[in-house]
Structure 1
Amino acid sequence: MTKIGEALQFFRENSWRSILARLNSRDTHPFIQFIKYTICGVGSLTVTTAIFVALSKWGMFPALDSSLPNEVRALNSTYNNLISFFFGNIFAYVTNSLWVFTPGRHHRVLEFIYFTAVSTTGFTIGLLSGPLLIKMYGISTLAAQLLLIVSSTMVNFVCRKFFVFKG
């Protein structure tokens, strides 16, 4: 809570120019870094979701049609998530390495592999739980997507900050 208070005080005491300069700095307060991470995450989520929805509505694997059997929706949502994950992960890596975290803890290729491994772990947890909940409880495909997003976000920030990038 102290860190959040310090960040809020910084926002109150500084001009927009100073705030933007701090936002664009890699050496910044952890709360500001999390805001930047969130902005990049929303961008990645937008890319991923747009591709997921497009594939689910107009692609080979319809997953948003509630008239389809739960097993079909579950399987098709898995396929669409796998495809959209690829593009969302690349977007997230590029924006996080350019704006949020300091690269250099590992060689760039290894850094991307670790980044992707972390993303895949969080994604897999959500991906396995979503179709399971669709099959077992008949929840909507969009509710399963929300659960995937929440579980992935929690795992990803901590792992990326402390294991993939310098900070």
Structure 2
Amino acid sequence: MIENCKKIFEKNREIIMYLIMGVATTVVNWVTYAVFIRVLSDCSHKVFYSNTLAWIFGVVFAYITNKIWVFESHNWELSFIFKEAGLFLSARIITGLLEIVGVPFLVDTLGFKMPLFGTEGMMAKVLVSVIVTILNYVFSKLIVFKGKKEVAEQEN
């Protein structure tokens, strides 16, 4: 049974690691948000600032974990990192905008207000999150970290 689990993991390693790191990124985002909400308690725009900082922390965490453990991109030359991180950030900005626009669009324009966990519109948030997660994986796989594992193996 353990050998079967190992084979399944190795066959699907990239997707499994992407999902694990995605959960970890979500935790980083939520914890960062909670911390900054408390730190900025006297600020009139604390939600905006806290959410923005949480997004930044989440994207940085996601880049590092995706680079190392998901897509195994081992090139640490500064010029390469700037290019790779720039592509990663660009893709995350696109999907971040999709999330920012998508949830209100589904709720306000299409009437997708069904409550989930007692929160109106949460079903729209979950649906958009699934789409964003899939797009983030596709962008990372096909654009940002394209062929990095094979390049690293050829260099060794």
Q: CA RMSD in A?
A: 3.4
Distance 2:89 2:28 in 1: 16
Q: What is the aligned partner in structure 1 of residue 131 from structure 2?
A: 151
Correspondence list, 1:1-167, <5 A: 12=1, 14=3, 19=6, 29=11, 31-55=12-36, 59=41, 60=43, 61=45, 76=47, 79-103=49-73, 104=75, 107-132=80-105, 139=113, 140=119, 143=122, 145-165=125-145, 166=148
CA displacement at 1:108 relative to structure 2: 1.1
Name structure 1 gaps, 5 residues minimum. 1-11, 63-75
Q: Check 1:54–1:128 CA distance in 2 against 1; reply closer, same or farther (3 A cut).
A: farther
Alpha-carbon shift at residue 150 of structure 1 (Å): 2.0
Equivalenced residue count is: 133
CA contact (8 A) 1:119 1:152 kept: no
Within 2, Cα distance between the matches of 1:14 and 1:92? 30
TM-score scaled to structure 1, two decimals? 0.62
The CA deviation at 1:13 is 6.5
Q: Stretches of 4+ moved more than 6 A in 1?
A: none
Unaligned residue ranges in structure 2 (runs of 5+): 114-118, 150-156
Q: CA deviation at 1:151?
A: 2.8
Deviation of 1:32 (Å): 1.8
